[in-house]
């Protein structure tokens, strides 16, 4: 797949203090069907990093230009994952994580 067929995005989320180990454990045991759902939506190369001092999760992922990520919030499996993770992080009333997009200011390939 050429670079023109994918885009890289970055965003941050907010972890509740003291929840680092449990967050890691739940992602280490990521449900296979959730991984398959993300890949089917065009997501790849997804990483989440922790700024432990500020309890900020920094995420990057690549997605195909024909991705269907916008449909993921309505998927029952995604909603179930959000409920599973809600006690560990800042969320909206619907259980979705608070996400702040981060624009790319520089990229070297």
Distance, CA of 108 to chain centre = 23
- Residue 55 falls in the annotated catalytic set: no
Q: Give dist(CA 23, CA 18) in Å, integer.
A: 10
* φ/ψ of residue 30, rounded to 5: -50, 135
Catalytic residues: 27
């Amino acid at each position: 797949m050429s670079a023109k067929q994918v885009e890289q995005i970055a965003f941050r989320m907010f972890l509740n203090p003291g929840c680092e180990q449990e967050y890691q454990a739940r992602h280490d045991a990521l449900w296979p069907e959730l991984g398959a759902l993300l890949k089917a939506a065009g997501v790849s190369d997804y990483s989440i990093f922790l700024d432990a001092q500020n309890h900020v999760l920094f995420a990057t992922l690549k997605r195909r230009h024909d991705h269907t990520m916008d449909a993921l919030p309505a998927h029952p499996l995604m909603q179930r994952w959000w409920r599973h993770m809600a006690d560990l992080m800042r969320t909206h009333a619907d259980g979705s994580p608070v996400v702040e997009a981060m624009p790319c200011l520089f990229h070297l390939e």
